[in-house]
Amino acid sequence: MREVAIIGVGMVECGELWEKSLRTIWAGAALAALEDAGVDSVDHITVGCMSPGLFVGQEHLASLLADELGMAGVAATRVESACASGGLALRAGIAEVASGLADVVLVSGVEKMTDVDGADATYALGSAADQEWEGFHGITFPGLYAMMARAHMAHHGTTSRQLAAVAAKNHANGLLNPHAQFHLKVSIDDVLASTMVADPLHLLDCSPITDGAAAVLLMPLARAKDLAGRRPVVRVTGSGMATDTITLANREDLARLRAVELAGERAYTMAGKGPRDIHVAEVHDCFTIAEIMATEALGFFAAGEGGTAAEAGSTALGGKLPINTSGGLKAKGHPVGATGVAQVVEIVTQLRGEAGQRQVSGATVGLTQNMGGSGGSSIVHIMEVE
């Protein structure tokens, strides 16, 4: 197996991109990654996208997007794992390069979510839950995560103020990210005063509906070193994936994310690293409770201590372990199929030392954690400066 490096990154600004189509925003991110790498051709394209058929009425993205880039004829694959589709696209691209099936792979993620109304968007996102046992009874993702939050509060004493601290921190980071959907200062009190969506989750505890795309370019490590010049080369050293029951009712403990735990363990083992070796991380904060639970599942904090750590500033810029320096899904935005790739763009930017005002000093090892649904699937990647 060959070692794999990330040689280029690119993304478009996240938001309500009314005047741009799915193919347009995808091409913008792809071209930015190719330009960043100094490469004009690829052997394979992977596309992470959750539900283009329901959001924009378009399937068969692999062929469509290869053609949009002027690369008709190139092998291309679309993958799906709900909101973890971007992370799965990266894992699929890594397998192509590591196995020798391809030398240069364009890994991408995209979602165009605002072309439908709120009800249709809720329906499309709800397809990532168990339709027979959850969707049929009217539950939506805010409700599912609210139940997880209530369980975490009951088990560990987590508070609404600790949830709000996650949102305030991520919005502060989003102010420093030019690609973020929201450049909005949000305080803990603002979060607690916002509309209750599903008790205990307020509106500002929830990530938004977002259009967006992101891309990275992979190649064998040896070739990447030749191409990089003086720029740091970022190597992918760990990749872990796991599943859990989609249905919350079938889980032993609603206050744990078992798929994240397993994916993290597998990525740590592959990389020869542990939680204490990570300098910066992007985790899946679709709701504020998700960030708290993910940081515990990844071993950054003991069970029940994720909320306390967030409130104390341990996960803020300048803290013990900065989490979601991009602004996370909460402020950067959550174009579901693109989210996992956008996380990687942020970590590579950090490891290169190119993150500007949100730069984590001395960061050489980073982690991304992407999650599908309410934790039915999760993918973790670890990256290091070579």
Distance CA 15, CA 181 (A): 5
Q: Please state whether the peptide bond connecting residue 335 to the residue before it is cis, i.e. omega within 30 degrees of 0.
A: no
Look up 334 and say whether it is catalytic. yes
Q: 228 pLDDT exceeds 80?
A: no
End-to-end CA distance of the chain: 17
Decide: pTM greater than 0.75: yes
Q: Could you give the domains of the chain?
A: 4-117+209-228 (3.40.47.10), 128-205+237-385 (3.40.47.10)
d(CA 378, CA 263): 6
206: annotated active-site residue: no
Chain center to CA of 134: 24
Q: For position 230, what pLDDT does the model report?
A: 79
Distance CA 380, CA 284 (A): 10
Take residue 277 and report the two structure tokens written for it: 């070796």
Q: How confident is the model at residue 333 (pLDDT cuts 50, 70, 90)?
A: very high
- Greatest alpha-carbon pair distance for the chain in Å reads 57
Among the listed residues 44, 156, 171, 334, the single catalytic one is 334
117-155 confidence digits (pLDDT tens): 999 999 999 999 999 999 999 999 999 999 999 999 999
Strands across the sheet with 234-243, in order? Answer: 75-79, 44-48, 105-111, 212-220, 4-11, 234-243, 377-385, 365-372, 280-282
Residue 111's identity, in one-letter code, is E
User: Could you identify the residue written with the tokens 């192509």?
Assistant: 96
Q: Is the pLDDT of residue 385 over 80?
A: yes
pLDDT at 229 over 80: no
Residue type, 169: K
Of the residues 83, 152, 202, 284, only one is catalytic, namely 83
Give the C-alpha separation, 325 to 170, whole Å: 7
Tens-place pLDDT, residues 249-296: 999 999 999 999 999 999 999 999 999 999 999 999 999 999 999 999
The gap from C-alpha 321 to its chain's centroid, in whole angstroms, comes to 17
Instruction: Encode pLDDT of 28-41 as tens digits.
Output: 999 999 999 999 99
As a whole number, mean pLDDT of residues 36-60 equals: 97
